[in-house]
A and B are shown apart, each in its own frame.
Chain A
Amino acid sequence: MSDGRRTNPTEEHARRHVAEEWDEAHFSTHCVNCVPADCPIYVLVKDGKVVREEAAGVREPMEPGVPDMNPMICQAGLAWSLGMEGPDRLEYPLRRVGERGEGRWERISWDEALTEVADAILDAIEEVGPESLVHEVSPQIGSGHAAWRFTDVLGGQLLDVNATINDFHTGYLQTFGKSSIAHSNDDAFHSELILVWHSNPAYTNIPWFHFMAEARYRGAEIILISPDVSPSHSHVDYHIPVRHGTDGALALAACQVIISEGLVDWGFAASQTDLPLLVRTDTGQYLRQSHLERGGRDDRFFHAHPERGAVPADPANLLLDFKPLAEGTLEVETLDAGRVRVEPLFARLRRMLDEHYTPEQAAEICEVHPDAIRLLARKVASRKTRIPVGVGICKYYHGDLMNRSMLLLLGLTGNWGKKGAGAASWNSFMFDGSSMAMAKTEAGVEAGKALLEASRAIRRHVMEQDPTLSEELADREVVRLLGGRMMLPPAFYWYTHAGFRERWNNPAWNDPDMPRDFDAYYWEAVDSQAWNPATEIAATKPPRVLLEVGGNTLRRTRGGKNALLRNLWPKLTKIVCMDFRMSQTAIYADIVLPAAQHHEKTAFAMPTPWPFILSMSHAVVPPYGESRDEWPVMIDLLEKIAERASARGLESYQRSDGTSRRYDELRNLFTLNGALEDKESVVREELADAVSSGNLPPGTTIETFREKGYSHYNDWAFVSLLTANASPFPRNETHSPLRNHVELGHPYPTLTRRAQFLIDHPWYQEAGEDLPCHKEPPAMGGDYPFRLSGGHSRWSVHAMNMTNPLLLETHRGKPFVLINDRVACEKGIEDDSPVRVWNDVGEFVVPARTSPAQRPDGLTVYNGFEGFLFPGGNGSNEVEVGMVKWLHLAAGYGHLFHSPIEWQPVPFDRCIFVDCKLFVGDSDPAGSKSAVS
């Protein structure tokens, strides 16, 4: 600007404020479980303290003609530095004084704290075994890795994080044989039709919401399908206000329209799905090779060739040189039942849809207009359609059915495996370095190469055994054979130790069509051995020590904190919580350890294909108070365990897999014989391994991250969770998963090697869920008129930012229940007055926010509000039952087998049945009956 302009001390003061605000700028990031993540940010430091963060906006564009991803930031990141100091930042180790949850603490030294924890672990190992140490794996990869490794080295229980959180799309796995697929954020720009369905991107996808708005300016249309007028409605074209839990009927009716109007992309469906496969009309099952020939396989199926009758469906290559019939019947000679009529699955599906899911029928169920369903169907059939499904659908009891129905809609219309199309999920582990670190027993790049070569050798061996397997399928087979121990499905632990047996067996809270008792299925699953070792450990190893690092079990476990406090807490001799803030779990812990956090330590953000970059937190300021990085703390703890063991004359112990460990070798196991003493050496090792494997570009080091703010990826990570994307690694283009199946005919990792809509497992047939269908949401919580649902909040990444003073001020500074304005009025509930919400499970009190955007029978409490934000200390999870669905215990069927992060029973928290009324007086404030002994 101009010289010699008028200025004054105020202007000069403002200029100095900006010029002297900081003296050092660094790149860093927030290592949190927000997906997308990896936002490169400027961290501005003055006198050794972070004063502010700002978007860096340095990410290079991906595909020409597609908007770039910058700035990549959100309000939580911008205010984050306020949480780096007290009062809710933990400054030194604490020991509980008084009862758990009382909130009285004494300050202790690190040495005292670790000694107490070490003693408790030794007691637990002596009493029960190392499996009595329980760690719920943290999604915060930046922090959680050390505790994972500690627990693994010791032999404790690692509970599967994707079940404790439940971001697992059961419906994807049932259909595709995998759930771990993702798009790049910018792929939405290619979409012609975007269905915002079970998602609230205005709240949850802040850094890449803009791609949807930009797609709209390119001509895309956007349809919101949600029970309420959600906050994401503002920038959509259509809203279909579907009743809670009836989305399956909506999707199936759209499928009925597509079929009856002749809009099916049969070329796609015939190649990519099981719809052309022949099914028996007597048993309802697929026709199998084993039905026709002695010694035939159970996993080989048939098409109906227009001239040649039943022909084998190729298990290795989906590309067809003929058009299988969609209709008609054939007769075949079976070994078990003589002559049997068979027909393409499509014919049966069509009859089912015509009978039960016309638009008029679905409109009744969903409380929408049949023309809205026709509009949806015709648009999906004629446009490149993307459903950016959030992780809310999987938290519905029948979310799997709804999910399968959505995928059927896409499968009939050729809408996946193409840029701008498809549906996707949560996807992480895109970083070879951290995956390899969990498996390596020796340090160094050569050891990493050997590990990779060994895994490739196993894969080659599996492919030799079955040459019809692709690399992806071989990887999944390896997971099936070897993956069971990596993380344990927590369902069995909850059932046995946290009081969920009673809940899950309550017929009132289950699907009323569940044919037998929950226990019948549970014990059948246990007896099948398919869920070992989790079932064995749950049965024989009661929990004694809970190690909470980078997680918050009391806030997030479905079923409420009171369920855990009543059932699990009394069994625990020691609860250790390491965090940077006083969380719900920390308040109820025995020992609280202060963790270093972002910008105070070296760590990685979430390695995920969404942004296709990896970012790091760098140690640019010293840790606050006595807080420490988790890695050296775990080392110290292992040393302390060895020291205390020696003092007791203990040398070694047995793990439940039969192996034994010496106390004095634990430290070396953890540090790979001294190679990994501190976080930075870990990070360097991981980067070296990822460069060597080709996952990251050559020359990538911590220094290049510090200079550039992030790193590109060079290739997919080697783990099966990433090869599941089944698309070419994108070079200068957006990424959409499943392209290899569509373009190259690669098989899917399912029983039929195709996207599978029929699950002919006996339990599924018994339940009538072998084909996707609509089922009413069960009365989880009792017979009450309101449907309580939620979603990730706008104002915090889970609970992490819930007490940030600035972020609290961007809303009302407290939780709220969103209630329809007219309904509230009828109940005498004014805006902001307290409301009691209850059902047969529990209750809580929360202020009302009234709005016409809420459905009359709907209530919404967003996720992440800790119990201590509610009067009486009970949060909305107190009314959650925490049900799981019996069909998710099915195993030993093709692609339904326990796999880490994926197939297992997962708990639900959406569409809870509750009632509500104005809360008057504190004669019985919610929570007084739930005091912990």
Chain B
Amino acid sequence: MTETHSKADRQVGLVFDLNKCMGCQSCSVACKMLWTRGKGEEHQWWCTTNTMPGRGTPRDWEQMGGGYRDGELVLGHEPSLEEFGGGWKFNKEDVFFGGKGQSVHLTPITADGTPPTWGPNWDEDQGGGRFPNAYFFYLPRICNHCTRPACVEACPSGAMYKREEDGIVLRDQDVCQGSRKCMQACPYKKIYFNHVSGVAQHCNLCFPRLERGVAPACARNCPGRLVFVGMLDDEKDPVHRLVHEWKVALPLHPEFGTEPNVFYVPPLSPYRLREDRSIDTETMRIPPEYLESLFGPRVHEVLAKLRSEIERVREGGRSELLDTLIVYYWKMLFGPFAEEPAVVEAAKGEAR
């Protein structure tokens, strides 16, 4: 086992406000378009957004194990290609040009030529509960760039490391032996294996963009304006304030023990309906125990705080917390990472 490089000097943190996520997949698509269109990357979706409750991707990842128990590293299940899903191909030539009329239809095929049984977002919008009190919300996930990354500790070759200057967890692919211990160790199952190159791969937090002051592709292309990016130790940064000052941004599955640096403002939900279809304005329909199983016991006070702040503002009060969550100017999401990713040719002046 390798010594964990967990003593980063500084740490980039993200906060996802789940009260704004509409499950559009823009974050997932933006990431994949930038990073994982190469060979062996077809099924890799470093950012995924799944419906919760749901089995997610890889299927049933929450029960696959990994992380730490009583301070000790635990190796869990290594997800298979089928459990991740994705990397599909389509029979377009056949349907459009094959001369087979209505006898063929466009249909996805997995890498081994069979119809898919799972995908990166297979159980979209199924959710839980019972009509009319069904419920679900959307949960975007990337690598959490944990403070105590189990993947780094589990890596037998020393390929994995955590950068000191920003806490981003990366992998030296020349050193990686393809043992996939990282995949067993990560409890969030956010590591993929490239079967062509023989190395594991995962979200790199768009570090080349961050180094240029540009926000990660997932955050910057989120139309929900819900992804805050900043330095966790900067007291003025919204990420810091949401996590450490107002304490409304919570880690996902804190019991996994890896101390993730991606946090979530938990989701409010619509009121429950009683048997007679009257509205029970005392009870939100996502069961509190379910939310607690995801975000820990503080989730209840966070939701109560959000509700009371909203009521206060409704009555004419002001709330710095809500003003921060509103995000009056889009670039306020990105802290020190608000640079443009491009300068267009036409704006380059007399060169044209």
Contact of B122 among A27, A371, A812 (CB under 8 A): A812
Q: Are B95 and A868 within 8 A (Cβ)? A: yes
Contact of A239 among B97, B163, B273, B322 (CB under 8 A): B273
Query: Interface residues, chain A, CB within 8 Å of chain B?
Result: 1-2, 5-6, 8-11, 13-15, 17-19, 21-22, 24-27, 42, 44, 52-55, 57, 61, 65-68, 70-75, 78-79, 81-82, 87-88, 97-99, 101-105, 201-202, 206-210, 213-214, 216-220, 224, 229, 231-239, 241, 363, 367-369, 371-372, 375, 582, 587, 703, 706-709, 794-795, 803, 805-814, 818, 820-822, 831, 849-856, 866, 868-873, 927-928, 931
Choose among A53, A813, A854 the residue with the greatest number of B CB atoms under 10 Å from its CB.
A813
The answer to whether residues A57 and B92 also contact, given A17-B208, A812-B119 and a CB cut-off of 8 A, is: no
Contact of A235 among B20, B89, B325 (CB under 8 A): B20
In the bound complex, residues from chain B placing their C-beta under 8 Å from that of A814 are 106-108
Complex Cα gap A57–B334 (Å)? 13
Q: For chains A and B in complex, what number of residue pairs have CB atoms within 8 angstroms?
A: 338
Q: Are A10 and B327 within 8 A (Cβ)? A: no
B345 at the interface (CB under 8 A from A): yes
In the bound complex, residues from chain A placing their C-beta under 8 Å from that of B290 are none
Contact of A75 among B24, B87, B279 (CB under 8 A): B24
Q: 17 A-B pairs, CB-CB below 8 angstroms?
A: A13-B173, A25-B345, A66-B328, A71-B221, A73-B223, A103-B95, A218-B326, A229-B127, A229-B135, A237-B271, A708-B347, A811-B124, A813-B88, A851-B126, A852-B134, A853-B136, A928-B102
Q: Are A229 and B134 within 8 A (Cβ)? A: yes
Give the contact stretch, choosing among B144-152, B180-188, B262-270: B262-270
B25 at the interface (CB under 8 A from A): yes
Q: Are B222 and A71 within 8 A (Cβ)? A: yes
Give the contact stretch, choosing among B65-73, B164-172, B294-302: B164-172
Complex Cα gap A17–B125 (Å)? 35
Q: Are B136 and A703 within 8 A (Cβ)? A: no
The answer to whether residues A853 and B126 also contact, given A68-B330, A811-B121 and a CB cut-off of 8 A, is: yes
B193 at the interface (CB under 8 A from A): no
Complex Cα gap A234–B24 (Å)? 13
- Return the chain B residue nearest A98 by Cβ: B99
Interface residues as binary, B36-50 with A (CB distance below 8 Å gives 1, 0 otherwise):
000000000100000
Q: Are A369 and B26 within 8 A (Cβ)? A: no
Interface residues of B in 156-207 (CB under 8 A from A): 163-166, 170-174, 204, 206-207
Q: Are A805 and B269 within 8 A (Cβ)? A: no
CB distance from A90 to the nearest CB of B (A): 9
Q: Are B328 and A44 within 8 A (Cβ)? A: no
Q: Are B344 and A78 within 8 A (Cβ)? A: no
The answer to whether residues A234 and B138 also contact, given A88-B92, A103-B95, A372-B277 and a CB cut-off of 8 A, is: yes
In the bound complex, residues from chain A placing their C-beta under 8 Å from that of B76 are none
The answer to whether residues A2 and B165 also contact, given A217-B322, A239-B273, A810-B28 and a CB cut-off of 8 A, is: yes
Q: Are B342 and A55 within 8 A (Cβ)? A: no
Complex Cα gap A67–B225 (Å)? 10
Q: Are A102 and B23 within 8 A (Cβ)? A: no
Q: Are B270 and A803 within 8 A (Cβ)? A: no
In the bound complex, residues from chain A placing their C-beta under 8 Å from that of B346 are 26-27, 703, 706-707
CB distance from A663 to the nearest CB of B (A): 35
Q: Are B106 and A869 within 8 A (Cβ)? A: yes
7 closest residue pairs by CB, A with B:
A219-B314, A873-B102, A813-B108, A25-B342, A104-B99, A706-B346, A70-B330
Interface residues as binary, B210-238 with A (CB distance below 8 Å gives 1, 0 otherwise):
11000001001111111000000000000
Complex Cα gap A2–B166 (Å)? 10
Q: Are A850 and B126 within 8 A (Cβ)? A: yes
Complex Cα gap A236–B284 (Å)? 11
In the bound complex, residues from chain A placing their C-beta under 8 Å from that of B327 are 67, 214
Complex Cα gap A87–B91 (Å)? 9
In the bound complex, residues from chain B placing their C-beta under 8 Å from that of A707 are 344, 346-347
Contact of A73 among B208, B210, B221 (CB under 8 A): B221
Contact of A809 among B119, B271, B342 (CB under 8 A): B119
The answer to whether residues A217 and B342 also contact, given A8-B174, A104-B99, A809-B86 and a CB cut-off of 8 A, is: no
- Return the chain A residue nearest B48 by Cβ: A810
In the bound complex, residues from chain B placing their C-beta under 8 Å from that of A102 are 99-101
Choose among B125, B137, B210, B331 the residue with the greatest number of A CB atoms under 10 Å from its CB.
B125
B113 at the interface (CB under 8 A from A): no
Complex Cα gap A25–B342 (Å)? 6
In the bound complex, residues from chain A placing their C-beta under 8 Å from that of B30 are 54, 75, 78
Q: Are A103 and B32 within 8 A (Cβ)? A: no
Q: Are A213 and B126 within 8 A (Cβ)? A: no
CB distance from B327 to the nearest CB of A (A): 6
In the bound complex, residues from chain A placing their C-beta under 8 Å from that of B138 are 234
B33 at the interface (CB under 8 A from A): yes
Chain B residues bordering chain A, tally (CB within 8 A): 110
In the bound complex, residues from chain B placing their C-beta under 8 Å from that of A61 are 329
CB distance from A232 to the nearest CB of B (A): 8
In the bound complex, residues from chain A placing their C-beta under 8 Å from that of B222 are 71
B304 at the interface (CB under 8 A from A): no
CB distance from B349 to the nearest CB of A (A): 10
Complex Cα gap A814–B88 (Å)? 12
Q: Are B86 and A42 within 8 A (Cβ)? A: no
- Return the chain A residue nearest B327 by Cβ: A67
Complex Cα gap A30–B172 (Å)? 39
Complex Cα gap A5–B164 (Å)? 9
- Return the chain A residue nearest B217 by Cβ: A54
Q: Are B131 and A8 within 8 A (Cβ)? A: no
In the bound complex, residues from chain B placing their C-beta under 8 Å from that of A233 are 134-135, 270
Complex Cα gap A103–B99 (Å)? 4
Complex Cα gap A363–B20 (Å)? 32
In the bound complex, residues from chain B placing their C-beta under 8 Å from that of A26 are 344-346
Q: Are B131 and A854 within 8 A (Cβ)? A: yes
The answer to whether residues A810 and B132 also contact, given A42-B344, A217-B325, A219-B310 and a CB cut-off of 8 A, is: no
CB distance from B159 to the nearest CB of A (A): 9
Complex Cα gap A816–B69 (Å)? 41
B341 at the interface (CB under 8 A from A): yes
CB distance from B148 to the nearest CB of A (A): 20
Complex Cα gap A831–B310 (Å)? 39
In the bound complex, residues from chain B placing their C-beta under 8 Å from that of A810 are 25, 28-29, 120-121
Q: Are A805 and B132 within 8 A (Cβ)? A: no
Q: Are B270 and A239 within 8 A (Cβ)? A: yes
Choose among B208, B210, B223 the residue with the greatest number of A CB atoms under 10 Å from its CB.
B223
Q: Are A214 and B326 within 8 A (Cβ)? A: yes
Q: Are B279 and A375 within 8 A (Cβ)? A: yes
Q: Are A851 and B33 within 8 A (Cβ)? A: no
The answer to whether residues A71 and B225 also contact, given A26-B344, A54-B30, A231-B23 and a CB cut-off of 8 A, is: yes
B4 at the interface (CB under 8 A from A): no
- Return the chain B residue nearest A202 by Cβ: B22
CB distance from B292 to the nearest CB of A (A): 18
CB distance from B80 to the nearest CB of A (A): 17
In the bound complex, residues from chain B placing their C-beta under 8 Å from that of A201 are 22
CB distance from A88 to the nearest CB of B (A): 5
- Return the chain B residue nearest A820 by Cβ: B131
Q: Are A18 and B330 within 8 A (Cβ)? A: no
B246 at the interface (CB under 8 A from A): no
- Return the chain A residue nearest B129 by Cβ: A852
In the bound complex, residues from chain B placing their C-beta under 8 Å from that of A866 are 106
In the bound complex, residues from chain A placing their C-beta under 8 Å from that of B210 are 1
Q: Are B270 and A236 within 8 A (Cβ)? A: yes
Complex Cα gap A241–B105 (Å)? 36
Q: Are B29 and A806 within 8 A (Cβ)? A: yes
Q: Are B106 and A803 within 8 A (Cβ)? A: yes
Complex Cα gap A363–B276 (Å)? 11
Complex Cα gap A82–B34 (Å)? 12
Q: Are B310 and A217 within 8 A (Cβ)? A: yes
Q: Are A853 and B134 within 8 A (Cβ)? A: yes
Complex Cα gap A61–B25 (Å)? 25
Q: Are A372 and B278 within 8 A (Cβ)? A: yes
Complex Cα gap A288–B64 (Å)? 77
Q: Are A54 and B24 within 8 A (Cβ)? A: no
Q: Are A57 and B95 within 8 A (Cβ)? A: no
In the bound complex, residues from chain A placing their C-beta under 8 Å from that of B223 are 55, 71-74, 206-210
